[in-house]
Amino acid sequence: MYRTKTNGELRLTDVGCEVTLAGWVQRTRKMGGMTFVDLRDRYGITQIVFNNEINAELTEAANRLGREFVVQVEGTVAERQSKNPNMPTGEIEVIASGLRILSPSATPPFTIEDNTDGGDDLRMKYRYLDLRRNAVRANLELRHRMTILIRNFLDSRDFIEVETPILIGSTPEGARDFVVPSRMNPGQFYALPQSPQTLKQLLMVAGFDRYFQIAKCFRDEDLRADRQPEFTQIDCEMSFVDQEDVLEIFEDMARHLFKEIRGVDLPAKLRQMTWHDAMRLYGSDKPDLRFGMTFVELKDVLPQGKFAVVDDAAYVGGICVPGCADYSRKQLDELTNFVKRPQIGAKGLIYIKYNTDGTIKSSVDKFYDADDLLKVKQAMGANDGDLVLILSGDNANKTRVQLCSLRLEMGERLGLRDKNRFECLWIVDFPLFEWSDEEQRLMATHHPFTMPNPDDIPMLETAPERVRAMAYDFVCNGIEVGGGSLRIHDGELQEKMFEILGFTPERAMAQFDFLINAFKYGAPPHAGLAFGLDRFVSIMAGLDSIRDCIAFPKNNSGRDVMLDAPSAIAQEQLDELYIDLDNDRLRALKG
């Protein structure tokens, strides 16, 4: 038996017990004739004491231990004289009577500590060492606990877990597919699923009624902090439900998770906000409601003919930052430079300081008089001591997005984006379609199977851009955690959707004949939703990135630096797959 106890479970009640422990050497300390070894495993750390007066040979062996050696220790549990209240095992130690090295270790490339000296790239290369750190391990334990809670909750609501295939046909609407060549079908390719969307709809046609899956999904798209090329969804579908039925069940699930994981009580009914209101008030379809600073449109408040930047703008909007009228010129210049960054793209920033003594100072004093600026104060609901920040632009949506970035920056600077506070809501009434400048056509905002709002169906022929979708997103702290929609279950309406999206009947049948044909055999009204498990875990853990709640993530270039993937494959494999590489183009890409 390698161990009788773990390194996290011994307490004062175990004093006098003979135990066998195993684990990794966290650190060693020599104090006179005694050597102290902190022995670590997944469950915690136990201090092991080697006493030269009791067994000199054993103590000498302990002195030769290096960091991350794997050892087995036998000994007797004793009460510590110098207790450590910061450790669960801090009241005891084990007086060693035996030591066995199970596996020596080279010196690790970084310290296996909560505050490590390893940079991101180094830790990703040696991810198996990084996973030994308490903080990273705790994230994966949290992920495990959440999946158990989710499975149990959905099982209690009569959902059945069904696995859907990983190798499917390509559906190029939406993000890019990862494609897999087929050796047995030369010149043809599988795709890895971006989601199990059509498959779970077929399960509804098959009568399964309530389905879920903790599903691996794949999208070949540019990466960011909350995006990886492969990710995990809590994927669900239900039959014979309307939108409120879906929102009610998954509000309950979110409420259950927040209570069990963070001890937080979400409201009995979450707020719902339309997409148009979210964009108008926050410039984002995933607004962070932990703080205010909602947008106020000022185009009609400021008088015309005084300042061309405002006069010629399609949109002028501002936010009121409470208590910041004392911002210095340096701070205001920093904010101006922030909004001018290429990734934000504003041309400049207007500020108005409503000082506590009743005076007003602004960057547009030479254009507007005090009465003009007092009208802005009233429209903004500002008080003495507040700072108003204004952006203008010739594209309303683009300017609102820029103002959103400024709002979030101010929230960050003022410490208002508290990771221990949670504000959740549903965004509803999305547009069914959005215009693609690249494709020069309407695209599905979510996917082609989303049900149009029944009240708007007549506009599919006359004004499709105005049609609302029966779609909904679950947003928490400015992060889209999940989303879904009611699905089209009528074949004729589905064909109309394909037509608006520019599909010929032949192309629609080529890509989706299995679904179109299935609808001929009695498709129930159905709806679904998918939460991003990685994002949900990262919110619960208070992380800025999903990477540290995934065991083996990719870097920002989509590479696994530990496995060195993706990588070249042998010519023999390429030949089997009937693939010829354009080496000239590859060399050109590599420069």
d(CA 380, CA 363): 17
pLDDT for 591 beyond 80: no
242 neighbors 486 (Cβ within 8 angstroms): yes
Give the mean model confidence (pLDDT) for residues 205-210: 96
Give the mean model confidence (pLDDT) for residues 453-463: 94
pLDDT for 225 beyond 70: no
Predicted structure pTM score: 0.92
Residue 173: what pLDDT?
59
User: What is the tens place of the pLDDT at every residue in 524-573?
Assistant: 999 999 999 999 999 999 998 899 999 999 998 889 999 999 999 999 99
Residue 55: what pLDDT?
94
Give the mean model confidence (pLDDT) for residues 513-526: 92
> What is the token pair recorded at 80?
């510590």
DSSP of 42-75: TTEEEEEEEETTT-HHHHHHHHT--TT-EEEEEE
Mean pLDDT of the chain: 94
> 118: pLDDT confidence band, cut at 50, 70 and 90?
confident
333 neighbors 371 (Cβ within 8 angstroms): no
Low-confidence winner among 71-85, 395-409, 572-586 (lowest mean pLDDT): 572-586
Residue labelled with tokens 């508290």: 418
Which of the listed CATH numbers 2.60.40.1180, 3.40.630.40, 2.40.50.140, 2.40.37.10 matches domain 12-103? 2.40.50.140
Residue 587: what pLDDT?
85
Low-confidence winner among 256-265, 430-439, 465-474 (lowest mean pLDDT): 430-439
Low-confidence winner among 103-112, 377-386, 552-561 (lowest mean pLDDT): 552-561
535 neighbors 479 (Cβ within 8 angstroms): yes
Q: Please name the amino acid found at residue 431.
A: P
Over 274-290, what HEC string results?
Answer: EHHHHHHHHCCCCCCCC
d(CA 57, CA 450): 73
pLDDT for 226 beyond 90: no
Residue 516: what pLDDT?
87
181 neighbors 579 (Cβ within 8 angstroms): yes
Handedness of CA 185, 186, 187, 193 (dihedral sign): positive
Nearest partner of 538 among 225, 308, 251, judged by Cα: 225
190 neighbors 167 (Cβ within 8 angstroms): yes
- What ranges in 479-554 are assigned the alpha helix state H? 491-500, 505-518, 533-541
d(CA 236, CA 228): 21
User: What is the tens place of the pLDDT at every residue in 161-195?
Assistant: 999 999 999 876 567 899 999 999 999 999 999 99
pLDDT for 33 beyond 80: yes
> 437: pLDDT confidence band, cut at 50, 70 and 90?
confident
At the topology level, CATH places domain 138-229+424-549 in BirA Bifunctional Protein; domain 2 (3.30.930)
Percent of the chain with pLDDT over 70: 99
Domain boundaries, the chain: 12-103, 138-229+424-549, 291-413
d(CA 76, CA 82): 17
Give the mean model confidence (pLDDT) for residues 486-513: 89
Residue 439: what pLDDT?
78
Residue 441: what pLDDT?
86
> 326: pLDDT confidence band, cut at 50, 70 and 90?
very high
Nearest partner of 520 among 196, 197, 205, judged by Cα: 205
291-413 shares the fold of 12-103: no
Give the mean model confidence (pLDDT) for residues 322-328: 96
Q: Please name the amino acid found at residue 537.
A: V
Coil, helix or strand for 550?
Answer: coil
The number of angstroms, rounded, from the C-alpha of 133 to the middle of its chain's C-alpha atoms is: 21
Low-confidence winner among 9-13, 115-119, 332-336 (lowest mean pLDDT): 115-119
CB atoms under 10 Å from CB of 361, counted, come to 12
Residue 174: what pLDDT?
66
Low-confidence winner among 206-210, 424-428, 443-447, 486-490 (lowest mean pLDDT): 443-447
Handedness of CA 550, 553, 558, 563 (dihedral sign): negative
DSSP of 305-323: TS-HHHHT-SEEEEEEETT
pLDDT for 406 beyond 90: yes
314 neighbors 396 (Cβ within 8 angstroms): yes
> 504: pLDDT confidence band, cut at 50, 70 and 90?
confident
Percent of the chain with pLDDT over 90: 86
pLDDT for 586 beyond 90: no
> 303: pLDDT confidence band, cut at 50, 70 and 90?
very high
> Which DSSP category does 415 fall into?
T
Give the mean model confidence (pLDDT) for residues 434-444: 84
How far is residue 440 from each of residues 222, 431, 436, 443, 501, measured CA to CA in Å?
22, 17, 5, 9, 11
Nearest partner of 536 among 265, 285, 256, judged by Cα: 256
Dihedral angle over CA of 376, 379, 384, 390, nearest 10: -50
User: What is the tens place of the pLDDT at every residue in 346-376?
Assistant: 999 999 999 999 999 999 999 999 999 999 9
Q: If you classify domain 291-413 with CATH, what class do you get?
A: alpha beta
